[in-house]
Every structure is written in structure tokens, then in C-alpha cells.
Amino acid sequence: MKFKETNLLGSFLIDLDKFEDERGFFGRLFCEKEFLANGLNYKWTQINNSFSKTTATLRGLHFQLQPHSEVKLVRCLHGAIWDVIVDLRLGSSTFGKWFGIYLSASNRTMIYIPKGFAHGFITLQPNSEILYLVSNFYEPKSEQVLLWSDPDISINWPSSPVVISEKDKLGHTLKNIHTKLSP
């Protein structure tokens, strides 16, 4: 596995270290030893699967408040997405900053998202399917939505959403959720 830290401290892009031959390739999606060696969470309590039928379906930006905050490991299994994370850790040098990455079935890149980040994506192809490992159980009362179009964050989405849930349309701005966040 190849780990590369993004510009947001604690988040990583992870690529397969492929062993290829005439049959194709083999690579690890997860190795406890390698995650531990990089100081990353390696305990997963849930594995979630998301499928979006339509291009420009936006999901997020979701996060859970303490003590239910989550580490996520996200990979696109089919299709393609623009995946976005926002640092919501009070006191972080990158608080309120975002990072986006193209994830697809063909590039097989994964993103490791530490606790204290909001996460969301927009589909770039129809029938996009996402798999993500999560370190904590989902707690509906702790779930929050950061507004995908918050002008103070100014995420550079590749397109406007065509399909978006009512919950995600009504997300809160960073200014409005600031008081709910833990350092």
C-alpha cells in the first residue's frame, strides 16, 4: 500500500501497491500493520455501501459530533466521484479548509478521513458505487450536515448537484455549527 498525506493534516490518499502479471494484478486494500506503521486507525465497526443512479448526485457533507465522530476509509467501486473532506477540528491549522480528490473504479485510490472531518461527494458518472469503512457506529442524534455550498468554505465542485436530499440541502454553514464542535 502507498500512503500519501494530503494538505489536511491526518488525511491520506492510499493507492494499491500492485503485483501484476499476465492475469491482472493483486493488491491489498487494507493491512493492519501498514495502517499502524502510518499511525492510522485500523479498527472498523461498520462497512457501508452507497449507490447513486444519477450523475451529479451530491451526498454530504456529513459528520458526527463527539463522542461519535468517525474515521472513514472511502473507495469508489464503480463509476467515479469527486470526494471532498473539510477539516472541522477546532485548533487545527487547516480548520475550515477543504480537500477534493477524483476517486474512480479505474484509479482505485482510497481516501483516509480522520475524526473531525465532514465528508461528501458528487457523482461524475451514473451508477457510481462507493464502499467505506467506518470506525464508529452511526448515531443519528450526533449526525450533522455541513452545507455543501457554504460560501466561507468555497468548495470547487466540478458541477452543481442535480440530485440532493432535503437534509443535505438544509445543511448548516461553518459559522452555525462552530459552537457544536469539540477541540
Indicate which residues carry an active-site annotation.
Answer: 62, 132
Give me 180's grid cell.
457544536
Q: H helices of the chain, where?
A: 32-37, 166-169, 174-177
Instruction: Give the separation between CA 119 and CA 107, rounded to whole angstroms.
Output: 20
Largest pairwise CA distance in the chain: 56
CA distances from 176 to 45, 147, 163, 180 (A): 30, 10, 24, 8
